[in-house]
Amino acid sequence: MTTHKIKKGFDLPLAGRAEQVLADAPEPTDVGLETGEFVGMKPKVLVKEGDQVKTGQPIFLNKLDRDIVWCSPVTGKVKSVEFGAHRYLCRVVIENSTKDDFVDLAPAGGGSGDRAGVVKAIKGAGLWPLFKQRPVGKMPMGDAVPVAIFVNGMDSAPLAADPAFATQGRKGDLQAGIDLLKQLTSGNVYLSLRAAGDHQSDARSLNGVTVHDFAGPHPAGLVGTHIAAIQPLKTGEIAYALSLVDVARLGEWQRTGKYPTHTVVAVSGSEAKDRKYFRVRQDAQIAALTGGSAPTGDVRVINGDVLNGFAVEPTAYLGFCNKTLTIIPEGTDQRDLFGWAVPQFGKMTNHLSVNFGLKKKEYVADARLNGGHRAIVNIGTWEKVMPLDILPTFLVRAIQANDIEEAIKLGLLEVTEEDVALCTFVDPCKNDVGEIIRQGLDMYEKEA
Amino acid sequence: MKFLRNLIDKQRKLYHAKDSKFHKVWPLFDAMETFLFAPDFRAGKKGVHMRDYVDLKRVMNSVILAMMPCLLWAFWNTGAQHFAAVGQLIADGNMVAGDYVTGWLQGILGAPDLAAEVTSASDTIIFGLQRMLPLVIVSYGVGLSIEGLFCVIRKEEVSEGYLVSGMLIALIVPPSTPLWQLAIGVAFAVVLGKEVFGGTGMNIFNPAMLVRAFLFFAFPAQMSGDAVWVAGNTSPSGVPGNLIDGYSEPTALAIVKTAGEDASTVLTDVYSHADLFFGHIPGSAGEMSKLAVLIGAFVLLATGVGNWRTMVAGVIGMLVAAFMVPIMAEASGLPMAGPMYLEPWEHLICGGFLFGIVFMATDPVSSPESNIGKWIYGILIGVITILVRMINPAYPEGTMLAILLLNAFAPTIDHFVVAANMKRRLKRS
């Protein structure tokens, strides 16, 4: 076991941490399978409105790889199939009868070394979208064999769910999941855990994984940081990444042959009322986690955390990969008089110029930009929160100049938008660094 | 507050929409509005949902706050130097108290009492304001007008960059500078030094330094840097600008330039070390008080806006060069000059180097962006300043030239740092 100390970074001192209590959320009236989370995917819907579907039955597939499907987490009637522009499938809503009638999803053959077979089985079980491929940070496509699989057993993002806590007591599922992962890679399966963290006894006793400990502020708990510290990828190499919670989901399917219908989601954020961990139906209505009714008022509901997530309608559904649901104030029409000049002691910042030394205190912050967009004026803020050996301003400039070759030389393939989220947060010029990085990655994908 | 908000919202309608009456000047309205109220932007639906409270306005504001000690001291010391010079002229019999011509502010607030043994504080400050305020107003007025014009043409938000440049300019030109010269200099620097490159964040040279350089080369009579600048009210024939007629004294560095082995003593005969450090000397606002500059440096570092690497590197570079260059010159048989006999630390409190390295060299746009680059950049500024001071026969001061030169080389310095980063990455794979 190795401990990596991350020095550069920033932990947003936000109010509204989820209490470490696991409760059962009520059964949602319906579930929604959304496509928006999987950028670049070409969905083809397999059901019609009014169809009766079983738990584990494929609902839509990815036309780019027809083996990859998304399965229904409930048994019930298809309530609606919603399309967006160009008849792009947006979501399929299914009524929840609460009684599960499982489709038999054959588990992968154990330990045969038949990688293709294992991949096909995972895809068929609707669990392939749990994987993220590095570089690029999207669902893995193609036949490239990953040189390593990085399982993330920690999450340092603000108010994010702790995967170690969420998988407590599921050692059997975790071990089955790890055994499955070992068949997918030619190299190691790494497990990253917070140094001296709680609730890790199950995770630390797993066989077949190499455990690495990480200490320090965010982004100490991001897979990009882990890869850079453990085994940086060489040109042409790929790796898979997934969360420990998702390993448990894989393991559950592998052990039972049934679709894992429930997952654990932490509800956090200053505007959330009941802040704790919930065992909840996959793709459930958000209302299931907020006391039965959708959150109201001037709030922003985020599938994910405040540094990496999707803002959704309060009436929408949890995302497929969600581990955290964050509810923060939106901040509509709140405009501070002389906000740029007056000392602000109640505002969250990483800069010293606002409140002269951030006190140990938890802040309620909203979704305002707190300024106008400007050209990059680099006063060293990005570098302070970038622990990777990357020069973020030069990388961004290379992408903006469409110089993809230079960008790759500068480490474009080592990051995704979540790795530079803190740069976006601290930037006084309010640039969306993640968006620029994604543009660069898109360019790379197009050229590759 | 509510009243103000409502008033602005009402006005907003006239400017905001594409087909509204005054939409052409929307950037100007937006600049005024966001000056009062933080803009109403919220994070996008994807990615980062929360942003730091700091925006570019506050960053720039911090720099302006850091410059305040220099400006306040200039209000005082410009007056003090003026009355000291006038007193000297009267004592020497070169001037009659009755001939004193009052300036615009003195005309409003009352003429100074020249007969008094000690000039009163109010007289001193009134003269200081009388000289300094027009500089600040012209610098901001001309610069912001041009910036505003370009933003209207480009249809983009007015950036805050000039708020700092404008103040810097007022602090680095001599208080005796004629306003028309200043206006031309500002226009030149903002248009050709900044806007042609695309505005704030895009310029290669520090705009304020360009103003100084422009004035230096375009109007050398007033700006040569070796005659001292004691501001007066009149502009008599034969005396350029608003210098006091018949009164001139060399600057600290000019004294040293013409001195020999005894440079230190020759210098302290005129200006004591304390005078140089606390700022009881004539000159541009920024070069007067080193104490005020150090307070400013503290503010910049405490707010995290200025980069300590550039400042420390600059001071180290200067001290090392000031120590090494005389030794090397002696060894190689170069002619020795006065500045070579000055103690290295005396170079720090002479001239505008401290102000330059604290406020001008740390400009995030025109300096290298990598941290290693900042070290190299700072050290080279220190070294080149000393080289100009010691070896160049014409100019007593080299800070301005050193910073402008290194501005030009900043991308080159960065290039090597970036190349090293790429090499490390290549090695890994």
In 3D, which of B358, B336, B347, B348 has the Cα closest to residue B403?
A: B358
Q: Does some domain include residue B281?
A: no
Same domain, A294 and A242: no
Phi, psi of B333 (to 5 degrees): 80, 20
The one-letter amino acid code at B356 reads G
Range of the domain at B400: 300-428
Residue A266 lies in a domain: yes
Residues A137 and A251 in one domain: yes
Query: Structural domain tally of chain A?
Result: 3
Do residue A300 and residue A222 come from a single domain?
no
Do residue B58 and residue A330 have CB atoms under 8 angstroms apart?
no
Minimum mean pLDDT range among A317-326, B170-179, B368-377: B170-179
ω into residue A219 within 30 of 0, thus cis? yes
* Cβ pair A337:B37 closer than 8 A: yes
- Please say if the pLDDT value at position A133 is more than 70: yes
Rounded to 5°, the CA angle A181-A184-A187 comes to 90
Are A243 and A309 in a shared domain? no
Predicted local distance difference test score (pLDDT) of residue B186: 94
At residue A355, does pLDDT exceed 60? no
Considering the domain architecture, whether residues A384 and A290 belong to the same structural domain is answered as no
What is the SS3 assignment for B119? coil
Count of domains for chain B: 2
Do A184 and A243 lie in a common domain? yes
Same domain, B89 and B188: yes
Residue A3 falls inside a structural domain: no
Domain-terminating residue out of A240, A256, A272: A256
List all residues of chain B from 189 to 228 with a beta carbon under 8 Å from chain A. Answer: 198-202
Q: Is residue A51 part of a domain?
A: no
Q: Final residue of a domain: which of B173, B197, B223? A: B223
* Cβ contacts of A302 on chain B, cutoff 8 Å: 49
In a domain, B274, yes or no: no
Which B residues 249-308 touch A at CB under 8 Å? 302-305, 307
Based on the domain organization, do A251 and A279 belong to the same domain?
no
* pLDDT given at position B380: 96
Closest to A369 (Cβ–Cβ): which among B43, B46, B161?
A: B43
Looking at the structure, tell me whether residues B348 and B212 fall in a common domain: no
Report the pLDDT value the prediction gives residue B337, as an integer from 0 to 100.
Answer: 81
- From the list A338, A351, A376, the residue facing B52 with the nearest CB is A351
Domain closes at, from B204, B223, B242? B223
Counting every residue written for chain A, the total comes to 448
Residue A199 has pLDDT above 60, yes or no: yes
pLDDT category of residue B237 using cuts at 50, 70 and 90: very low
The mean predicted confidence, pLDDT, of chain A is: 88
Does A442 share its domain with A379?
A: yes
Residue A32: both structure tokens together: 């929604």
DSSP lists the bridge partners of residue A133 as A138, A240
Instruction: Give the angle A205-A208-A209 at the CA atoms, nearest 5°.
Output: 75
Look at residue A264 in the predicted model and tell me its pLDDT.
93
**With 0-12 CB in 10 A as exposed, 13-18 as middle and 19+ as buried, what is A31?**
buried
Sheet of A58-62, strand order:
A43-45, A58-62, A65-71
Domain limit, last residue, from B223, B251, B274: B223
Domain endpoint, select from A256, A273, A300 = A256
Say if residue A282 is in the same domain as residue A374.
no
- Confidence at residue A191, expressed as pLDDT on a 0 to 100 scale: 93
Which pLDDT score, from 0 to 100, does residue B240 have?
A: 40
Query: Which residue range is the domain that position A433 belongs to?
Result: 369-447
Interface test with A, best of B33, B42, B50 (most A CBs within 10 A): B50
pLDDT confidence bin for B4, thresholds 50/70/90: confident
We report the CATH number of the domain holding residue A267 as 3.10.20.600
Task: Give whichever of A89-98, A342-351, B174-183 has the largest mean pLDDT.
Answer: A89-98
Instruction: State the Cα torsion B203-B206-B211-B213 to the nearest 10°.
Output: -110
Same domain, B313 and B193: no
Would you call B427 an interface residue with chain A, using a CB distance cutoff of 8 Å? no
What pLDDT, on the 0 to 100 scale, is given for residue A248?
A: 93
Same domain, B216 and B349: no
pLDDT score recorded for residue A36: 87
Q: Among candidates B196, B154, B157, B147, which has minimal Cα distance to B56?
A: B157
Percentage above 70 pLDDT, chain A: 97
Average pLDDT over residues A234-254: 92
- Structure confidence at residue B216 (pLDDT): 85
Together in a domain, B219 and B306: no
> Residue B417's pLDDT is what?
92
Residue of B nearest to A356 (CA): B303
Reported as a pLDDT band with limits 50, 70 and 90, residue A400 is very high
**Residues A155-172 pLDDT 10s:** 999 999 999 999 988 899
CA gap A412, A437 in Å, rounded: 7
- Residue B239 is predicted with a pLDDT of 40
Q: Give me the phi and psi of B68, to 5 degrees please.
A: -60, -45
pLDDT tens for each residue of B238-290:
344 445 544 556 677 777 877 777 888 888 888 888 888 988 888 788 788 99
Tell me: do A136 and A251 sit in the same domain.
Answer: yes
Task: Clarify whether residues B312 and B404 are in a common domain.
Answer: yes
Nearest CB partner across the interface for A372, out of B39, B305, B428: B39
In this structure, the answer to whether residues A149 and A236 fall within a common structural domain is: yes
Q: Given CB atoms, is B34 within the 8 Å cutoff of chain A? A: yes
Predicted local distance difference test score (pLDDT) of residue A260: 92
B118-141 pLDDT per residue, tens = 778 888 888 888 888 999 999 999
Residues B197 and B333 in one domain: no
Q: What is the rounded CA–CA span in Å between residue B319 and residue B102?
A: 44
Q: Is residue B84 part of a domain?
A: yes
Instruction: Give A361-373 pLDDT, tens digit per residue.
Output: 788 888 888 888 8
Q: Which two tokens stand for residue B138?
A: 């012209």
Selected residue with higher pLDDT from A356 and B270: B270
Query: Does B261 fall in a domain?
Result: no
Does residue A428 form part of some domain? yes
Q: What's the CA dihedral at A216, A219, A224, A227 to 10 degrees?
A: 0
Tell me, yes or no, whether B95 and B188 share the same domain: yes
Q: Which of A246, A247, A251, A250 is nearest to A265 (CA)?
A: A246
Chain A contacts of B161, Cβ < 8 Å? 377
Choose the closest CB to A426 out of B52, B61, B370: B52
Distance CA B164, CA B171 (A): 11
- Judge if the upstream peptide bond of residue B411 is cis by omega within 30 degrees of 0: no
Regarding whether A407 and A378 lie in a shared domain, the answer is yes
Rounded to a whole number of angstroms, the distance between the first and last alpha carbons of chain A is 36
Give the DSSP H or E segment for A90: strand A89-95
Query: Is position B258 within any domain?
Result: no
Return the residue of B nearest to A422 by Cα: B48
**Helix, strand, coil percent content, chain A, rounded in steps of 5:** 25, 25, 50
> Is residue B168 a part of any domain in this protein?
yes
Cβ-Cβ contacts under 8 Å between A and B: the total is: 226
Confidence of residue A267 (pLDDT cuts 50, 70, 90): very high
| DSSP one-letter string for A179-229 | HHHHTT-SSEEEEEEETT-SS-HHHHT-SS-EEEEEESSTTTTSHHHHHHH
In a domain, A41, yes or no: no
Name the least confident of A183-192, A336-345, B142-151: A336-345
Assigned domain for B151 exists: yes
Range with the lowest mean pLDDT among A255-264, B231-240, B292-301, B355-364?
B231-240
| Average pLDDT over chain B, rounded to an integer | 84
Q: Which residue of B has its CA nearest to A428?
A: B55
Tens digits of residue pLDDT in A148-158: 999 999 999 99
Helix-, strand-, coil-residue percentages of chain B, each rounded to 5:
65, 0, 30
- The pLDDT confidence band at residue B235, using thresholds 50, 70 and 90, is very low
Higher-pLDDT residue of A448, A177 = A177
Residues B313 and B405 in one domain: yes
Based on C-alpha coordinates, what's the Rg of chain B? 24
In this complex, which of B159, B302, B307 lies closest to A380 when CB atoms are compared?
B307
For residue A201, the domain's CATH number is 3.40.50.11540
- Among B26, B37, B51, B418, most A C-beta atoms within 10 A, so best to mutate, is B51
Mean pLDDT, residues A338-355 taken together: 72
B401 against B261, higher pLDDT: B401
Q: Specify the pTM.
A: 0.89
**How far apart, in whole angstroms, are the C-alpha atoms of residue A60 and residue B212?**
67
The pLDDT value given to residue B288 = 84
B96 in the same domain as B216: yes
What single string gives the DSSP state of each residue in A272-332? -SS-EEEEEETTBBGGGGTTTS---SSEEEEEEETTEEEEE-TTSB--TT--EEEEEE--T
